[in-house]
Amino acid sequence: MFFKKANIRPSDANEAELIEGCLKEDRRFQKELYDRYASKLMAVCYRYCKNREEAQDVLHEGFIKAVKNLHRFEGKGSFEGWLRRIMVNTALENFRKNKHLVVVEDIEHAESQRVESKALDKMSAEELLRLVNALPAGFRVVFNLYAIEGYSHKEIAEQLQISIGTSKSQLSRARAALQNMIKGIDIEVYNEYAQR
Q: Which residues contact 106 (CB under 8 A, 6 or more apart)?
A: 163, 165, 166, 168, 169
From the list 26, 21, 23, 15, the residue with the least C-alpha distance to 75 is 15
pTM of the entire structure? Answer: 0.70
pLDDT tens for each residue of the chain, 196 residues long:
444 445 788 888 999 999 999 999 999 999 999 999 999 999 999 888 888 999 999 999 999 999 999 999 988 889 999 999 999 999 999 988 876 544 444 444 444 444 444 555 666 777 777 888 888 888 999 999 998 889 999 999 998 889 999 999 999 999 998 888 887 765 554 445 444 4
Query: What is the residue extent of each domain of the chain?
Result: 10-97, 118-194
Give CATH for domain 118-194. 1.10.10.10
Give CATH for domain 10-97. 1.10.1740.10
